[in-house]
Structure 1
């Protein structure tokens, strides 16, 4: 059994670093939140809702979330093919935690910006 400190040495063994690296990027959290609100979305609908994400980045983000079991992808045998994305149960279980982080960020945003500004001023002097 690994000692507590040893499990943090390598990211592949550290549950926090390993998992947060996957959905802590610029887009994954937003995709999770949008899918939570909309239930099911097709690729182009999701792209339209998010707006400033490239199609390539949305594809990569959805593939990573699907690989981690947070998002499911359903392909319909139609012409043209229709694909829908939705959160899995594990993806839905993540939403309250993201919501808590959003609340924390909203509550502390001004203080953090002030601290950053103060830090930059100290660096200049």
Structure 2
């Protein structure tokens, strides 16, 4: 792939109770992947209850649930998002990662794992 061929745009929604932190960390991830992918962070839901309306409104390609959600909550978020947009790609950041290792660990984790997810969306 040449430098001029970034893939996308990929439309992203996050589910995070700390929207400012989500915006900053996702911004760092977008910057880190900008040479390969065009990612647009459309919105953040601060509650599980807000997922359906937000997905319905924006019709994102991908949705990330943050590390504050339990695996059961992340599964509920996935089910809601898939109901509103069949085929949406989901990624749950491992529970506790932010608390245990801090924001840099989140960005590092995303930079390592998101390309695989985007390639799945693109194919």
TM-score (norm 2): 0.29
Q: Which has the higher helix share?
A: 1
* Larger RCO, structures 1/2 (Cα 8 Å, 6+ apart): 2
Say which one has the larger Rg: 1
Q: Which has the higher strand share?
A: 2
